[in-house]
Amino acid sequence: MIATAPSISADVSVQASDLTRTYGKAAAPIHALRSVSFTIHRGERVALLGKSGSGKSTLLNLLGGLDRPSSGSVHVGGRDLARLRSRDLARHRLATVGMIFQSFNLIPSRTAAENVALPLVFAGKRRAERRKAAQHALEVVGLGQRTDHRPTELSGGEQQRVAIARALVNCPAVLLADEPTGNLDSATADDIVALLTDHVRTHGTTLVLVTHDEDLARHCTDRVLRLQDGHLLP
Amino acid sequence: MRLVDVVGLGLSALLRQKVRTLLTTLGVLFGSFVLVASLSVRQGVHETIAREYQKYGELRKIEVRPTYGGTKEIPPEKLEVRGTMSEERRQRLRQEIQRRWKQGIRVDPAKTLTRERMKEIAALDHVKSVEPVLLQHGRVTLGKKSMDALSLAAPPDSAEFRNRLMAGSFLPSADSQSVVVTEYLLYQLGIVDDADVERAPGKTLELEYRLGRPAPSLLLTLMHGGNAQVSPEEEKVLEKVLQRLPDAFAKLDLGAEERATVEKLFKPRTPTAPEGITIREPFAIAGVLRCGDGGGTEQRWGWVAGDVDVLVPSGTATEMYFRSPRHREHGFDTVIVEVDDLTHVKAVNQQILAMGLQTVSLVDLIEREQFSYLLIFSSMTVVAVVALMVAALGITNTMLMSVLERIREIGIMKAVGAREGHIQTMFLVEGALIGVVGGLLGLLMGWVASFPADAWVRSMIEQQISIKLEESIFVFPPWLVFGTPLFSVVVTTLAAFYPARRAARVNPIAALRHD
Ligand SMILES: Nc1ncnc2c1ncn2[C@@H]1O[C@H](COP(=O)(O)OP(=O)(O)O)[C@@H](O)[C@H]1O
Ligand SMILES: [Mg+2]
């Protein structure tokens, strides 16, 4: 890539500056993130690499608006998440980002379609519209035939596909995946990553993929960010 | 988020925990059932009491009496308690002496029901009529026969007697010189055959009253108990005997001391006492009354109606009564004031009380009666409200548990974009749904149960005090039908408030941590 300075924010998807997250009491603070700064452009696919406990999930949760930074700022889609009110942060989670977790995080009592349609419930969409969108999203991830199955009736890979369909159902600008293949065997993992990267490429979605698989990071993404003890390595 | 979805999510969460939901709803159901029942019966009894009294038109009447006593002070020397004793005991005895003194002395009425005062009362706003309760023993003579009879002053519009009329017409006016008699009296006076009874109206009946002084026939009563039936001729003889009684003592075999005692006892006490007067006047019989069927006895003066032989127009009766100077001074014992409308009874009552007279009004009475029922059923209502509160605590407890169980679900919802408000509303709706269902079922159950309960209470009332109630003692006015489910919803929603807050505040990261 040619080193072009990020001219204007229209091209910038994520921008963190001096992002810090500290847990615990002031007397014995745990520094999960220490003054992290970086920029991710729109449509860029970035891998977040680092050992366990290095602060990857903390960073991802900050980008996803599930958490707030202790200091510094984090802009996603042009808005400083640190300054958003709680309800705007919820709106950010609903509309701007889609999150995928290692443990799928599906609601066991609801069918695949219902799980996928859940964000649309909070978006205030009608039932019929939700159904259609969920069906479409499930077809995209290759589960068009399994809409009425509950998570317990699906394999791990299928569950993660449902989770991906849920993350995609609102057509987010940024996709955040926290070790999405951590609970899957390598063959399934490859399928999942392929699904993610394909979708991202065709839709111009920004992807932040947390992993500790060096090869995967290098092959499937444009750039690798490395974290160590809360520091971003150069 | 759409309302259907909020309700749908709440409902599906409740249905997932069927037994738990059933039990919490049962608690609310029971509480609102008791609430509905207590409020319904409270209102029903309130209305029933008012209706039962209203039926006899007695509610608009105020009974007025003179005020007695209180004028004469006890002489200070009588209050003196001598002897060695504790100060407390001396005080107690003094109070008792004073109390007995007040009881014992015969004081003239302080505020009397004289003709003037009756006019004063009649002049008050909203007073329809002022009629004395004037029940007098007298003597009637028809042709050659005569007998003692009880007469009652009656207004010409007296409904309770009017419908017993069997011949002739009712009293034409308050001041007419006419009477209405019972068929019993006529029978006793020798008018036996139906045809004769039919011809009785128009005949002349002589009425005799002795005012201000007991009849001499009382002497006979004293000597051999029982009621003496005395003819006018016999009475003249008795009068003579009475007057000459003191002379007769001289002829008795008495010692000097005994004679002195007798003379002292029979010495006329108040030589200035007004002489009694006797009134004897002819009246035209206007109509004949059928004998009472015992009906009407539930009315306040109903028992009187049963024994009355003669009705005298109230105006005429009053005029005759006040011919006695003593009566003019002391007035009537009881006067019935009729008020034009129920809503004015209390105000009129107040005004009469302000005149210094005593009153008894059924409005007071039923208010007291209604108040006591109000107390009883209100305590039931309190119990019901407490039951609802307990049910509400149960809801709070169960929902707090449910928040913990569903913490992951809550975390997921927040992660995919649910606002705190969404989560909070979902849980509040769960509480509200329990309240709606429990409240409505409680209302339904209260309504259904009111039928057998009403039947049971009615049969008890009918057996014990033989009053047939026309309407249910349970009523369901709109405020009750809408109010109690609403109240139960408010209570359960409030109960869900704390768990809902907790749910809304769930930290999604902590909730989603998968260890
Ligand atoms: N809620 C928390 N309270 C205290 N410490 C935390 C909390 N969450 C994360 N940490 C700490 O922050 C550091 C980074 O955690 P995390 O971002 O989960 O690492 P990674 O995802 O890279 O394994 C770890 O040392 C972890 O123990
Ligand atoms: Mg992690």
Q: What's the pLDDT at B217?
A: 66
Is residue B337 classed as helix, strand or coil in its secondary structure?
Answer: strand
How far is Cα of residue A29 from the mean position of the Cα atoms in its chain? 27
Q: Which tens digits make up the pLDDT trace of A130-142?
A: 999 999 999 999 9
Given a cut of 80, whether residue B249 has pLDDT beyond it is: no
Query: Which residue's CA lies nearest to atom 19 of ligand 1?
Result: A53
Given a cut of 70, whether residue B303 has pLDDT beyond it is: no
Given a cut of 50, whether residue A3 has pLDDT beyond it is: no
Residue B272: which H helix or E strand, with range?
A: none
Atom of ligand 1 nearest to the CA of A58: 17
Burial of A46-84, coded b for 16+ CB within 10 Å and e otherwise, reads bbbbbeeebbbbbbbbbbbbbbebbebebbbbebebbeb
A101 in contact with chain B, both atoms CB, cutoff 8 A: yes
Q: Which residue of A has its CA nearest to B1?
A: A124
Pocket mutation for ligand 1, best pick of A31, A51, A57 (most atoms within 8 Å of C-beta): A57
A90 in contact with chain B, both atoms CB, cutoff 8 A: yes
The model carries a pTM of: 0.70
Q: What is the mean pLDDT of chain B?
A: 85
> What is the least distance, in Å, from the CA of B508 to any CA of chain A?
7
Query: Which residue's CA lies nearest to atom 14 of ligand 1?
Result: A55
Q: What's the pLDDT at A161?
A: 95
Q: Which residue of A has its CA nearest to B7?
A: A121
Task: Indicate if ligand 1 lies below 6 Å from the C-beta of A161.
Answer: no
Q: What's the pLDDT at A1?
A: 41
Closest CA to B481 of B446, B453, B451, B452: B446
List CB contacts of B426: < 8 A, sequence separation 6 or more: B6, B9, B10, B13, B500, B503
Which ligand does the CA of A102 lie closest to? Answer: 2
Which of A156-160, B258-262, B459-463, B465-469 is least confident?
B465-469
Q: Which tens digits make up the pLDDT trace of B81-99?
A: 888 899 899 989 988 888 7
Residue B339 phi/psi, 5-degree rounding, is -100, 150
B417:A94 CB<8 A: yes
Task: Indicate if ligand 1 lies below 6 Å from the C-beta of A211.
Answer: no
Report which of residues A62 and B366 the model is more confident about: A62
CA–CA distance, B200 with B193 (Å, rounded to integer): 11
Q: What is the mean pLDDT of chain A?
A: 91
Q: What's the pLDDT at A101?
A: 93
Q: Which tens digits make up the pLDDT trace of A152-169?
A: 999 999 999 999 999 999
Give me the percent of chain B exceeding a pLDDT of 70: 88
Atom of ligand 1 nearest to the CA of B510: 1
CA–CA distance, A100 with A74 (Å, rounded to integer): 20
Q: What's the pLDDT at B47?
A: 87
Report which residue type is found at B75.
P
B423 in contact with chain A, both atoms CB, cutoff 8 A: no
Measured between CB atoms, which of B408, B409, B417 is closest to A90?
B417
Which of B226-240, B287-301, B447-461 is least confident?
B287-301
How far is Cα of residue B435 from the mean position of the Cα atoms in its chain? 41
Is residue B190 classed as helix, strand or coil in its secondary structure?
Answer: coil
Chain A neighbours among B 402-421 (CB < 8 Å)? 408-409, 411-421
**A59-62 contacts: CB < 8 A, separation 24 or more?**
A59/A16, A59/A19, A59/A21, A59/A33, A59/A227, A60/A99, A60/A176, A60/A178, A60/A208, A60/A210, A61/B509, A62/A16, A62/A19, A62/A21, A62/A33
- DSSP of B492-508: HHHHHHHHHHHHHT--H
CA–CA distance, B476 with B38 (Å, rounded to integer): 11
Q: What is the ipTM of this complex?
A: 0.94
Q: Which tens digits make up the pLDDT trace of A173-219?
A: 999 999 999 888 988 998 999 999 999 999 999 999 998 888 888 88
Residue B310: which H helix or E strand, with range?
A: strand B310-313
Contact A53, A66 (CB under 8 A): no
Chain A residues in contact with B514 by the CB 8 A cut-off are: 101-103
Q: Which tens digits make up the pLDDT trace of B120-129?
A: 898 988 898 8
Q: Which tens digits make up the pLDDT trace of B20-47?
A: 999 999 999 999 999 999 999 999 988 8
Q: Which residue of A has its CA nearest to B2?
A: A124
CA–CA distance, B29 with B154 (Å, rounded to integer): 58
Q: Which residue of B has its CA nearest to A117?
A: B416
Q: What's the pLDDT at A186?
A: 87
Task: Indicate if ligand 1 lies below 6 Å from the C-beta of A29.
Answer: no
Radius of gyration for chain A, computed over Cα atoms and rounded to the nearest angstrom: 18
